A and B are shown apart, each in its own frame.
Chain A
Amino acid sequence: ETGVTQSPTHLIKTRGQQVTLRCSSQSGHNTVSWYQQALGQGPQFIFQYYREEENGRGNFPPRFSGLQFPNYSSELNVNALELDDSALYLCASSLGQFGTEAFFGQGTRLTVV
């Protein structure tokens, strides 16, 4: 059984650029959620995808967007990067829309300069 994997592990971007982060869900899991974790803070929910459709969104602007693919892997896209977007981006997968435990990947550390 493979766990949740994210790529890349680290990334440095310039303000105003666009970035795409990727996540492969745990085997058998069809729900993927994305979280932003600022330094010294708890993760904050960005959005969730279930069977390729967005299934809930947190308090993040539209420049944060995502996709889920038929194999349940997912992408997080952030446009017009701002300095405050610097954070650890976490992907979590779970089983089913009413699934139980969410299992997290190791995250992508994004630095915006």
Chain B
Amino acid sequence: QQQVKQSPQSLIVQKGGISIINCAYENTAFDYFPWYQQFPGKGPALLIAIRPDVSEKKEGRFTISFNKSAKQFSLHIMDSQPGDSATYFCAASINDSGGSNYKLTFGKGTLLTVNP
């Protein structure tokens, strides 16, 4: 059972455009939603994260939008640049005092290509 569903699988955007990646989750106990960026041959790097008490968080060109009722969250990359070309993963975790804290459940990833 896939707990975090990510779409699209791949995305091609022109330089300067907006890249949008969506994720949906099933477990309502999730309370931490990070996005990771991964370049080939590298480990994932934390990009931005949000908790369910806010509906939007912005850091530079990156924005997370969060819809708790729909159990969906998305990453928006404004003014996309060729250097943003990478695989993006959404994730979710539970801050559970009795279990594995920040055990991240990842989506399958989106390969973003930004053409110059």
Contacts and interface: CB of A to CB of B under 8 A. Distances in A.
A58 B34 CA distance: 19
Interface string A94-112: 1001111111111100000
B109 A41 contact: yes
A37 to B, nearest CB: 8
B111 to A, nearest CB: 9
B108 interface: yes
Interface residues of A, number: 30
A48 B103 contact: yes
For this complex, into which size category does the number of interface residues on chain B fall? 20 to 34
Given A4-B43, A43-B89, A90-B43, A102 B108 contact: no
Contacts of A56: 99-101, 103
A99 B101 contact: yes
A43 B66 CA distance: 22
Nearest to B43: A104
A56 B94 CA distance: 12
A62 interface: no
B27 interface: no
Contacts of A31: 101-102
B109 A102 contact: no
A106 B49 CA distance: 20
Interface string B35-68: 0100001111110010000000000000000000
Contacts of A107: 42-43
A42 B43 contact: no
Given A57-B100, A98-B101, A104-B44, 16 more contacts: A33-B104, A40-B109, A41-B109, A42-B4, A42-B109, A43-B44, A43-B106, A45-B103, A55-B100, A56-B101, A92-B104, A101-B49, A102-B34, A102-B102, A102-B104, A106-B43
4 closest Cβ pairs, A-B complex: A56-B100, A42-B106, A104-B43, A45-B103
Interface of B: 4, 6, 34, 36, 41-46, 49, 89, 91, 95, 97, 99-109
